[in-house]
Chains A and B, each alone.
Chain A
Amino acid sequence: MQLNLYSKDLKHSVDKASTYKLLQLTPELLEYINKREDNKPTNNDQRIYLKSMDRSNSDVVLVTDRNTFVLRQKMHSNTVLLMENNKNNGSDYNVFSKQNFELELLKSEGKIDISLLPILHRNKKLIVDNKSKLHLTLDEFISISPCSVTEFYRQWYKFGGCITTDGGIACLLSNEYISEVLHILLNCIIIGNDAVFRDLTLEQCQEFISKEVNNEGMSIDKEVIHTILEKFGDSTGLITSNSDDAGTKSYALNTFEIAKWYGIKSLRKFCSKQYLSIEDFLIKWKSQFPPYFPCDIDLTMLVGFYVKDINRDRISYLDKNGLSGNIKQRFKELFKLQNTWNESEIWPFIEQLNTLNLKPESFIMKYARRKRIKKNKYVITSR
């Protein structure tokens, strides 16, 4: 078979109304498109979006309903011509584009930027400070977030994401508000549900809380309770009352996550500006829970939130968001607080700066000294 190849002057006579790019598919994305071909999407499922990574970064991400990929431009020096069939003559082909690069997809973890969201406090007022500019519905916020919907919801409730009852504005619950509602909910479950923390539905929890807080002349919105259940609970499936019922989502409260939340709150409250002995801290931590709340506590649950004085067995709260973004500076700041750290306790404070994904020990040894004190136990000191 012989084909005639035609071309225009591609440098000066390009179709300015449209440009063409080649995108290297990943097996996952190809499978996704194949599935989509079999089953045409009717809603937001199975759609593909291109989004900008964030305000400061010009990277573009491609998102499906489950995955996020960063687009990279892979330049080449070969001549790559795209040709299409001339409709008037089957054996004639015209060059319609010349490609200097291909777009490569790198799978990445989709992240959401909550820094500009308003904060919802107990008095139900949205605090929109000078920095907060986003006043979006949840759907609008999802559409601008550079991640898939699945990844979005995985992080949204962990951050305490919620929507306002009036207007459905995406916001974050303040830490104090989360602590207060969680405390009330736990008290209610202990009293009203015989301390059974499983098979809880949103409606059931709302009923428990309403009974409790109505006496005090306050109310807590359903959306807020929903966020608390999603943040501190694991979905255990659907509860159905009869065969026609579509089912209601049920939750089992995660006592580990709850104990950790109370621990961080205790660290902030009792050890923010001072060191406290570990023994005293554990007593204070335990005292924060509602009476008869069944959970075990251990200091290792709070790794990444405290700095430990190894010699005197005492701890102080440390907020990693307050540390420098420069790795050398961060190590300096950490060693200024304590000159010796347990390896497992320093790692959460530097992990996010390990952008090259090195092994923890290799990364640490680039900036500090690693000394073995027991079998499989190391301490980190400055050089």
Chain B
Amino acid sequence: MPSTEVKIQDNILEHPQLGCILIEIQGDLEIDLHQFKEDPDRTMQFGKLEILDDNHVVLFIGKKQRLLGHISKLDPPVALLKFSNSAEAINNSINNNKQSNVEILRIIKNKMVFRDRPLPIM
């Protein structure tokens, strides 16, 4: 029955508000996979996020669609867990109790929720 300690990063509660963003879209987000064919590690821009005020946000996907959304408070918040899967990290965790391959990186208190159908960009 194995066990591992969950390490907790310092200052997880006081990270900048936009240090880590959680976006929830009701439905699928389809990104054109052809662009990754040549280089799977390539990073491409798929959209823009506009924060209108403390509560309202707009997500632009490509050049044709936009989604209206809002910032929702998570109550209670969620913790972002990182599992290190490398063999070295797992061995360290098994052989030495002080080493851990699981850590809480952040506490996320807000998420941006997009529930409505996308609107066309005119």
Contacts and interface: CB of A to CB of B under 8 A. Distances in A.
Contact of A2 (B12, B48, B86): B48
B44 interface: yes
- Most B CB contacts (10 A, CB to CB) among A12, A82, A102 go to A82
A21 B50 contact: no
B119 interface: no
Contacts of A93: 21, 49
A16 B46 contact: no
A5 B49 contact: yes
Interface residues of A, number: 55
A51 B21 contact: no
Interface in A13-55: 13, 16-27, 30, 33-34, 36-37, 47-55
Contacts of A146: 1
A34 B104 CA distance: 13
Contact of A83 (B12, B23, B31, B86): B23
B51 A26 contact: no
A54 B18 CA distance: 40
Say whether chain B's binding surface is mostly helix, strand, loop, or mixed: strand
Interface string B72-99: 0000111111111110000000000100
Contacts of A54: 1
Interface in A230-264: none
Contact of B78 (A17, A25, A36): A25
Nearest to B46: A7
B77 A49 contact: no
B42 interface: yes
Interface of B: 1-6, 8, 11-13, 18-29, 31, 33, 36, 40-51, 59, 76-86, 97, 102, 104-105, 107-108
